[in-house]
Amino acid sequence: MTTEFHDIKFKIEDRVARITLAHPPVNILNIAMMREINEALNDCALSPELVAIVFDAAPDCRAFSAGVAVEEHAEDTIFQMLDSFHAIFRALEQIARPTIAVLDGPALGGGCELLAACDIAVASNRARFGQPEIKLGVFPPVAAVLLPRVIGDKRARELILTGEMIDAAEALRLGLVNYVVPSAMLEGKTL
């Protein structure tokens, strides 16, 4: 099964769904893209044979995701943006299938939150992680819930409150990712 979208690629093959973020250059999560992700997740929910969901980025993108579109934090779009973003996490919880994030570049802000929501993360040694939105005066509510569960309270607070970036080795040490491999081995490790 393959469904065509504008900002993502989505397919279900061999009982595994693959949601590929495909909004170059850095997969900024705008409302339209988040709605597409939610539509793909709705398709996943309707597939009882599905055994896993993989999130990755298209090869022409330099990041897994550089986060949610800053311009959509405006008064006239903030509620749509938050609703679309939070719906992704509600859907993942309701679908209750194993999720795998595959990263060959930065996962920042909302991208890092999506990664934290996944059960398993496979990253290349080029991956970087962080919640830099605090530097814009925006607090990441999903990260405030997920990161303490994944990497511990103190370190989560530090990342959220400072906007500090960490590399793949530190993410592995903290438990934010499960594996760090060379870029050429990402797909093999994922399979």
Catalytic residues, by residue number, are 113, 133
Residue with token string 């943006």: 81
> CA 133, CA 189: separation in Å to the nearest integer?
31
Contact predicate 4/36, CB 8 Å: no
Q: CB of 9 within 8 A of CB of 23?
A: no
Count the residues in the chain.
Answer: 191
- Beta-carbon neighbour count of residue 2 at 10 Å? 9
Structure-token pair, residue 7: 């900002």
